[in-house]
Structure formats: structure tokens, C-alpha cells
Amino acid sequence: MIWKHENGEIREVPALFKLLLKQKKSGVSGPFVIAAAGAGGKTSLLWSLAREACRVGMKTVLGTTTHMLLPERLSVLDGDEKRAVKLLERDGFVCIGTPCPGWKGSAERDGQLPPEIKDSAVKCQKAPASLRSLLSSHADLILEEADGSRRLPAKYPRADEPVLSADTDVVLAVMGLSALGKAVGDAFHRYEMYPGGLAEKELIRPEHLAEALQSGYIDRVPALHSGGAVIPVLNQADTAERISQAGEILSLVSGEVPYGLITRLRPEACPDQ
């Protein structure tokens, strides 16, 4: 489920991708490019968007500018440009990346992937630039994971994160509501970089996630990449209390933000199923 937070009000929206598509710049050629950064649901969010986009006939590429889990059977991981274009044209969807040496997924670590491709995942880094460039001329949508969080629900980015492609239109800055009430050391990736610092045993509060979104992404992205919108996303809104907490966090966020999103995501089926 997805809710939109705007002007202090929360309302449910039927489709996330159609909402985001309104942020595409008019008169600009090339695919719509969405990057997901932060923690607590980036991969699930991108798969959900891929599913929606494929349903409306948009040719979609899923990849990363850093690292992410990708399924073998839906991916081109060897840089084969002809095969990648063929899959995109035939199926309307393809994942691209370069396998990290010696890494294969496991059931324990593949929980963020669609159910039917667990146990068949490879941790990948970004695809060759030539392949990404070629697919840009064939795709309608490119989805990219733009930083990592070591599977923790909260994160503060390094100075060089998120890693954004030059043609990025929208950055989804994600935080997981399951971090609230947990010890910083257990649930907050790179908490030592948080402004003013956080104690390892301190409990995570709504204002901590708001600050991570604000200074870590909303204020930072324009300096790294001009022209793209930043939209904060509070995921793991599994209860009414968490939805309320998400609204509280988004009310603390300021700046050039079109709106905020609150999501309750489940692993999506593959776009080709």
C-alpha cells in the first residue's frame, strides 16, 4: 500500500509509478530514470516500480550504480549488448550488472527479492557504461539502486553518496520505520556520520530519521546532481502507529520536496510472471 503525504495530510494512492511519472521533465528525450537510495526497502521499492511500469507497457531496465542483488535468469551480467537489447525488446524488462567476484545469494539473504527468484541471486556492481548507454536508447524507464545499507533499516550516507547517473530524474530517499525504537548500533548504518553523532546504545527516534533524510539526501542531492527531484519515502508502514510516525517524520522535512511517500511493500512477483 502507498500513501502520499502532502501539506500535512496523508491519503492513499492507487499506484506509485503513475504518481512518480508526473515528475518526468517535459520536452526531455530519453528514458525516465529513478534512483533509490537510503535504507529499509530500496530493492523492494524498485521491484514494485518495475512491476507497475511493465504492466503499462514501459520497457524497463533495473540495475545499480553501486551494488545490489540481481536474479540470474532475468539479467544480463556479462555485458552482452545484443542479448540485453533482445530481452528488453521481447520481454519489456531486463536487469543489468556485473557480478561481484565469488558472491552467490542464499535464501537467508534473498528475502528482498521476488519470491520465485530466491536462491538464484548474484550480488552485482554496476553494468558496463556502454551497455547502460545502449539500453538508454531502447528503454522507457531505468531504475537504479544508488547506495547500500548492509540490510539495516536506517542509514546516513557518506559524503560521496548517493551515486547518481547523470540522467537521473527522481531520487527516492528511503528509510525503514522498523528502525524506530531500536538501538542505533543495531539498526543505523554509518550512524557515526550522523550530524553531531549518535551513541551506539541510543534508541532511534522519529527526528533521527527526519535528519537523515534532510541533511543526508534532501539537502545533499542537489549538490551532487542538479535538476532531479528528491522524494522521501518511509517504508515498513505495517501498522496505524507506524503510518502516524511516518507522517510525523515527513512533517519535519523541509526544502524542495514535491511530497513524501509512506509505503507498505511486499516482495513483488517478477515482471515476466
Same domain flag for 112 and 183: no
In contact, 93 and 172? CB cutoff 8 Å = no
So what's the pLDDT on residue 109?
55
78-114 pLDDT, tens digit each = 999 999 999 999 999 999 999 998 776 555 555 566 6
Q: Which residues contact 19 (CB under 8 A, 6 or more apart)?
A: 2, 4, 13
Domain that holds residue 245: 1-22+30-58+140-268
d(CA 158, CA 155): 10
In a domain, 273, yes or no: no
209 found inside a domain = yes
Q: 171-204, pLDDT tens digit by residue?
A: 999 999 999 999 999 999 999 999 988 999 999 9
Whether pTM > 0.85 for this model: the answer is yes
Q: Looking at 119, 139, 159, which one is the last position of a domain? A: 139
Are 219 and 258 in contact, with CB atoms under 8 Å apart? Answer: no
d(CA 233, CA 35): 12
Q: What is the CATH number of the domain that holds 215?
A: 3.40.50
Give the separation between CA 142 and CA 34, rounded to whole angstroms: 6
**Same domain, yes or no, for 150 and 98?**
no
110-159 residue pLDDT tens: 556 666 565 578 889 999 999 999 999 999 999 999 998 888 999 999 99
